[in-house]
Amino acid sequence: MSTRIGILGYGNLGRGVECAVRQNDDMELVAVFTRRNPESVSILTETAKVCNIADVEQWKDRIDVMIICGGSATDLPEQTPEYVKSFNVIDSFDTHAKIPEHFANVDAAAKAGGHIGIISVGWDPGMFSLNRLYANAILPEGKDYTFWGKGVSQGHSDAIRRIEGVKNAKQYTIPVDAALDAARSGRNPELTTREKHTRECFVVLEEGADAAKVEETIKTMPNYFADYDTTVHFISEEELLANHSGIPHGGFVLRSGVTGWEKENKHLIEYSLKLDSNPEFTASVLVAYARAAHRLAKEGQSGCKTVFDIAPAYLSAKSAEELRASML
């Protein structure tokens, strides 16, 4: 029997979930919930309904897992604890510092409702977190490195767009090759986020805007750019659309550690992602964990979980026997 999926919120991530569900034969998208007028929202899956979020309770018995595709700043802290009362839910909450608080809220509501809520699913947090955990458990003496990119940072792109005279902009976060090499060297250097990354900006100006002033404003912007090696390119709107309309991302998680009685042997564990579409990849992770949520719920489990709490076999459509025979 297939897992009946609901999508709550139909932006880039929601559309990514819709595409990912289609790639999994044991999954079925039954409904998309939106705050907009449902008639104004057209989805790709012919067999699924579009509904207003106000009607979500009517779907309690027709959805096995609800994938909540809101933003971490304001949506998810409200939505995930709210909807886990009625559904098994997955979210991609990515405000690292607030995860403990979010976990506690979702856990209490999930247990009260007898449902499973898996939070902070995606690649960071998500697959990168898993790789940090596995690598630290294997090599207790060592050093972790996380690099992001090359990829589009939505927050940094937005910050540029808010500058007067800027019509449109895309910002790429780029790992510094020399820093990556240093992390891989076994010398375990200290590397700040700034030393590990550069920032490249593609900016479309409003007519008559002062390019020099915009560039200065970007490069001196506190927190976002001031501490980084930042490059600004001014391009036409056509060029931005033609060459920078994708949402690629990726990155690297490394752990460099030692073993041996005298710590004489060095080891490097490296995990990396190169993604054409950040939201579609994140969505693909969400859907794999939706499969796990459904299975855990069928076992009678409830409460909040993270990727750390889920045995890998729960993510796969294959049986335990098939997995042992084909992938071990």
Residue of 89, 184, 87 whose CA lies nearest to 142: 184
Give min distance, CB of 260 to a copy of itself, in A: 5
The reply to whether 105 sits near a copy of itself by the rule CB under 8 A is no
Question: Which one among 52, 86, 136, 231 touches a copy of itself, defined by CB under 8 A?
Answer: 136
The reply to whether 156 sits near a copy of itself by the rule CB under 8 A is no
Count of C-beta atoms within a 10 Å radius of residue 328: 5
- Kindly write out the interface string for residues 173-212 of this chain, putting x where it contacts a copy of itself by CB under 8 A and - elsewhere: -----------x----------------------------
Count of C-beta atoms within a 10 Å radius of residue 1: 8
The reply to whether 241 sits near a copy of itself by the rule CB under 8 A is no
CB distance 250 to 151 below 8 Å: yes
Please tell me the count of residues contacting a copy of itself according to CB under 8 A. 70
Candidates 14-22, 165-173, 206-214, 215-223: pick the segment binding a copy of itself (CB under 8 A): 14-22
The reply to whether 41 sits near a copy of itself by the rule CB under 8 A is no
The reply to whether 148 sits near a copy of itself by the rule CB under 8 A is no
Q: Cis omega before residue 219 (within 30°)?
A: no
Pairing mode of beta strands 249-259, 265-275: antiparallel
- Amino acid (one-letter) located at 195: E
Q: Cis omega before residue 125 (within 30°)?
A: yes
Question: Which one among 23, 37, 192, 245 touches a copy of itself, defined by CB under 8 A?
Answer: 23
Question: Which one among 281, 293, 294, 295 touches a copy of itself, defined by CB under 8 A?
Answer: 281
The reply to whether 100 sits near a copy of itself by the rule CB under 8 A is yes
Say if residue 178 is exposed, middle or buried (CB neighbours under 10 Å; 0-12, 13-18, 19+).
exposed
> Which are the contacts of 198, defined by CB distance < 8 A and separation ≥ 6?
173, 174, 176, 228, 229, 230, 231
How far is the C-alpha of 242 from the C-alpha of 127, rounded, in Å?
A: 31
Give min distance, CB of 327 to a copy of itself, in A: 5
Give min distance, CB of 137 to a copy of itself, in A: 4
The reply to whether 112 sits near a copy of itself by the rule CB under 8 A is no
The reply to whether 317 sits near a copy of itself by the rule CB under 8 A is yes
The reply to whether 132 sits near a copy of itself by the rule CB under 8 A is yes
How far is the C-alpha of 57 from the C-alpha of 114, rounded, in Å?
A: 15
Say if residue 32 is exposed, middle or buried (CB neighbours under 10 Å; 0-12, 13-18, 19+).
buried
- Looking at the Cβ atoms of 15 and 199, the one nearer to a copy of itself is 15
- Looking at the Cβ atoms of 203 and 307, the one nearer to a copy of itself is 307
Per-residue burial over 257-275, b if 16 or more Cβ lie within 10 Å, else e, is bbeeeeeeebeebebebeb
- Looking at the Cβ atoms of 122 and 204, the one nearer to a copy of itself is 122
The reply to whether 106 sits near a copy of itself by the rule CB under 8 A is no
- Looking at the Cβ atoms of 38 and 125, the one nearer to a copy of itself is 125
The reply to whether 306 sits near a copy of itself by the rule CB under 8 A is yes
The reply to whether 320 sits near a copy of itself by the rule CB under 8 A is yes
Using the structure block, give the residue that is written with the tokens 């999930």. 110
How far is the C-alpha of 23 from the C-alpha of 37, rounded, in Å?
A: 28
Which residues bind to a copy of itself, rule: CB under 8 A?
16, 18-20, 22-24, 44, 96, 99-100, 103, 120, 125, 127, 129-134, 136-141, 184, 259-261, 264-277, 280-281, 283-285, 288, 291, 306-313, 315-317, 320-321, 323-325, 327-328
